[in-house]
Structure 1
Amino acid sequence: MIELLRRYPLPIIVLAQLFGTSLWFSVNGVWLSLAGELGLQEADMGRLTLAVQTGFIVGTLTLAVTGLADRFGASRIFAVSSLLGAVFNGGFVLVAAFAPLDLLLRFATGLCLAGIYPLGMKLVIAWTPKYSGVALAWLVGMLTLGTALPHLMRGATLGLPWEWPLLVASVLALVGAAMVFVLGDGPYLPKSGGAVPLRQGLAALQIPRFRAVAGGYFGHMWELYAFWTLTPLLLGRELQRLDAGDGFIPWLAFAIIGIGAVGCVGGGRLSRTRGSEWVAWRALAISGGICLVYPLLSGLSPLLLIALLFVWGVAVIADSPQFSALAAESAPRESVGSSLAVMNAIGFSLTLPAIWLTSGLWGLLGHWVVLLLVPGPVLGLWSLSRGNRTQRA
């Protein structure tokens, strides 16, 4: 059985990633029912989302500081993190009405996600190093579907208690933990003999090529999670204009976020012929352009704007696996895990002000808050372009 799994490591890893990352936006997926029952507001959703993001940042920094990402087996860290994440996510059902315990458990879930996403990237590189851009595209595609999955589960359980989708996400995470634990670590990365300190993870930022790629990734991250957080709110506005019920929101939110997996996989295929940087630059330019024009088109047909959200959903994540592949290529080989963990930590730190600003100002500015996301893609494209000029010089 184990040998059979190891013949097809990529499907095992990406499926486990899908299951594990269903914990990420599990509360967002049940938000309408949860908010209605407990009397919560959009700002409360922002705080719960920020708690997860903060936990993820602290977790990635802990991996980098302690060297766990390079010292211990990636499969073991992934499995333990998925197991604990399932417990904390399920525990939220018991404390949802009790602040600050609700924020604490979402923070703990974010800590566990730090052992799932970056370690999933390392597992992919360790098992399938030849076409890392393509393989990482599948991995991030599953992260995207995992993020969207709670919306699907909520749509499928409308009329049922909001606790059900959260508990299903925990069960899926347990299955993912078992799959990766059985698979084990790949053969293509050297094992570190000791802890890799934070300064070695940070040292990659002194490499001009890594720094340029990281800058592009940081701009991408400013936009990505804020857009995913805003998706149900943007949909609610357009469905209200159509006089359609809120019951369509979870289905459409799943589709708009989940379609990003198509962008990831399609971008991965293109990267084999065009290169990862070609894909990343164009995806970031498209999503940044939509950031800019979306509120300016707010008077057009709601159906047209919903269609534009689908295009945005494709482009907003298609660059992510290519940034990770480019970063892995340019990072020191002996500290790939720590370098990616540091890049993830900084990138996810930038999601905090983006989510806080957009969710907090939604009540005042409505759909115009998306203009606050424009600086991310602009600065990301500038970093990539500047890096290319420096490299040619």
Structure 2
Amino acid sequence: MKKRPTLKLVLPIIVVSQFLCTSLWFAGNAVLGDIAKSYNHEGNLLANLTSMVQFGFISGTLVFAIFAISDYFSPSKVFGTCALIAGIFNLGICYTKIPIEFLMTCRFLTGFMLAGIYPVGMKIASDYYQEGLGKSLGFLVGALVLGTAFPHLIKSFSFNFPWQYVIYATSFLAAGGGFILFIFIPDGPFRKAGYKVNFTHFILGFKNEQFRSVAFGYFGHMWELYAFWAFLPLVLNFYRSQNHLSFNVSLLSFMVIGIGSLGCAFGGILSQRLGAKKIATAALCISGICCLLSPIVLTSSMPVVLIFLSIWGLTATADSPLFSSLIAKYSTAETRGTSLTIVNCIGFAITIISIQLLNILSKQINSKYLYMVLAIGPALGLLALIKKSNQKILQNESNFPNYKT
């Protein structure tokens, strides 16, 4: 039996593993221009490549949730195994002159295996940390954000190397991340294993009103986040061409997406003092305002655009770990992994709709207006969160005696 490391080492190990493994997520996006040269599908390739990863992730999370895999089996073993297999599938897109269907299948299967990495990583963290879970997940989701951005950084510094080196690097990193967690992180002290498969566990959380409130807040956040990330290079390229500027789009994309990792970390720290739900609500509100302001700001000077995108990148992700910590909080210990997984499943299904919608709109309207439609998600998410908060206030007021004057 593996000896547990000291609690101070557990979170850094999980964070590093999560960062290395989630570099697979946007690996295809980072080399999109190079891949597109081999096909005549450049117009839809961005949306389709991203959507196939999301669709694979959704399918994986659904399977993992229904069969309660991360509750029934050791989550560390699940994480390590999925990381290795995901890295292998990621390598599949390196082969030139392959049918477009094979390319999409490789991205789908990579996404499927990511279902055993991202939500399972949160499950492992929740098995070690009950107090301050929001802070712990803040660092963990921050690692996901940085990992998602990392392929853009590799691409920006790849110089004259073939684009396949980006894929080789991310696959190697993912395998290494899975190995590190598998070797050094055994099952946590607060883990309660599920003893049998229960096909109703994945919907139990939605019977809890507080669970539903934060889940719908998370769904609104997901409508915005991945579409914002996926179309960022396109929007930056449009801005560069319109203003006749010269800057490295890949590097700037990495910076805007990567700064979200700081938002996750700071959001988790602030949540310990101000409460997870308050910080998540504030972050969702600010990022929603950024969606609405984007057409105005994206015609401004470069310094203004940089400041605006930095604020947006920070707030667009700051609420993600807080929603996850609240979902874990309102779930039972036996179903926590399954609850996190099914909420992820629904959230990523929503990202496909927003990504495909932006893909359609990108052919119809000026690119500077694209992001306005993303405000729908934060608006509906805030409505669910505020409605629940108002109900709680009214309930508390009803507990006071009603005096007549």
TM class by smaller structure? over 0.9
Give the conservation status (yes or no) of the 8 Å contact 1:280–1:322. yes
Residue 294 of structure 1: aligned partner? 294
Deviation at 1:37? 5.3
Structural mapping, 1:1-393, within 5 Å: 3=3, 5-7=5-7, 8-36=9-37, 38=39, 40-94=41-95, 97-182=98-183, 183-197=185-199, 199-245=200-246, 248-365=248-365, 366-392=367-393, 393=395
Aligned partner letter, 2:125: V
Q: CA deviation at 1:40?
A: 4.5
Higher helix share: 1
1:95 Cα deviation from its structure 2 partner: 5.6
Cα distance per residue 1:324-359 (max 9 Å; x no partner): 001110112220111111111111110011001112
Q: Are residues 313 and 236 of structure 1, via their aligned partners in 2, closer, same or farther at CA, if it must alter by over 3 Å?
A: same
After superposing the two structures, state which structure 1 stretch, 334-343 or 213-222, moved more: 334-343
CA positional deviation for 1:298: 3.7
Task: Say if 1:213 and 1:384, in contact at 8 Å, map to a contact too.
Answer: yes
Report the aligned-residue RMSD. 1.6
Alpha-carbon distance in structure 2 between the residues aligned to 1:107 and 1:133: 30
Alignment partners' CA distance in 2, 1:229 and 1:322: 23
Pair member with larger Rg: 2
Per-residue Cα deviation, 1:239-297 (whole angstroms, up to 9, x for no partner): 2234334x601100000000000100011110110010111001000000000111133
The offset of 1:39, in angstroms, is: 5.2
**SS of 1:100's equivalent?**
helix
Deviation at 1:165, TM superposition (A): 0.6
TM-score, reference length from structure 2:
0.93
**Given that residues 66 and 201 in structure 2 are in contact (C-alpha distance below 8 angstroms), is that contact kept between their aligned partners in structure 1?**
no
Are the structure 2 counterparts of residues 298 and 173 from structure 1 closer, same or farther at C-alpha, using a change threshold of 3 Å?
A: closer
* C-alpha separation in 1, matches of 2:378 and 2:98: 37
Match of 1:374, SS state, is: helix
Please give the alpha-carbon distance, in whole angstroms, between the structure 2 residues aligned to 1:238 and 1:260. Answer: 21
Q: Is the 1:241–1:302 contact (alpha carbons within 8 Å) kept by the matching residues of 2? A: no
The aligned amino acid for 2:313 is G
Gaps of 5+ in 2: 396-405
Q: Are the aligned partners of 2:39 and 2:100 in contact in 1 as well (CA < 8 Å)?
A: no
Aligned residue number for residue 403 of structure 2: none
Superposed displacement of residue 204, structure 1? 0.6
Report the AA paired with residue 85 of structure 2.
L
Question: Which residue in 1 is equivalent to 2:399?
Answer: none
- Work out the CA distance in 2 between the residues paired with 1:127 and 1:180: 14
Q: Is the 8 A contact 2:71 2:192 kept in 1?
A: no
Structure 1: unaligned runs, 5 residues or longer: none
Amino acid corresponding to residue 99 of structure 1 in structure 2: I
Q: How many residues align?
A: 390
Partners of 2:160 and 2:310 lie apart in 1 by 26
Q: TM-score, normalised by structure 1?
A: 0.96
The 10-residue stretch of structure 1 (337-346 or 144-153) with the greater mean CA deviation from structure 2: 337-346
